Amino acid sequence: MPKEQILIIEDDKHIAKLVKYNAEKAGFDCTVIGDGEEALNVLNKHGADLVILDIMLPKMDGLEVCRAIRQSTKLREIPVIMLTAKGAEVDRVVGLELGADDYVVKPFSPRELMLRIKAILRRGKTEELPKEVIKRGSLVIDIPKHKVMVSNKEVELTPIEFKLLVTLIERAGRIQSRDKLLSDVWDMHSDVFTRTVDTHIKRLREKLGKMGDIIETERGLGYRCKEDED
């Protein structure tokens, strides 16, 4: 079985070497690129199973690279983990809003980063999801095809947004705490990242348009998908 391919976009040679060493030790094939423009060229030519993306890059910063990945029909399904400086909350939130699947704050634990990489790649496999089509009003979720339609128009969701939507709709009527969603959707257990859930819920509602109203906020508790009234 071929190894999964990770593209590390990082101009700090020390950090890039650290990530590459640990990722290869964990069984991945890695390529390191130091600037955003070259990274996009490589992605378009060769693809990748996952991208580790620093924000501070020459020529094109990580936020621009993330935006370009999510706007590309060819690349938008590739999971992205962003590396951000400690305390740069604005960058983290913007990165999530642009479609990053996760972020890791520098300085970081290589072991934690590897766990996050494995979790993201694991949850991206469609065989882990039930094989069915879910319909709620004008919303149609085709799970095998990873396709979402609202009023017969396709809604482009990132892999994490798709799994979040499926998780909520399959548990309709039941409140899901942020910690529960982090555990089941992101495979994480940490209060530090509850903002991650809020950001993804906000973007998911916006993308679903009028059907975004099926996701309710229970103040102080979490989120709940409305039960089907049909």
Specify the pLDDT at position 129: 43
pLDDT tens string 39-68:
999 999 999 999 999 998 988 999 999 999
Helices (H) and strands (E) in the chain, counts: 8, 11
User: Which residue did the predictor score with more confidence, 229 or 184?
Assistant: 184
Specify the pLDDT at position 88: 63
pTM of the model: 0.63
The pLDDT > 90 percentage for the chain reads 47
Torsion angle of alpha carbons 144, 145, 151, 154, nearest 10°?
150
Architecture of domain 5-123: 3-Layer(aba) Sandwich (3.40)
In the chain, what are the domain boundaries?
5-123, 126-225
Integer Rg of the chain from CA: 18
Give the residue-averaged pLDDT of 94-112. 84
pLDDT tens string 17-45:
999 999 999 999 999 999 999 999 999 99
User: Which residue did the predictor score with more confidence, 142 or 124?
Assistant: 142
Specify the pLDDT at position 186: 78
Going through 151-221 in order, the beta strands assigned E by DSSP cover: 153-155, 215-218
Topology of domain 126-225, CATH: Arc Repressor Mutant, subunit A (1.10.10)
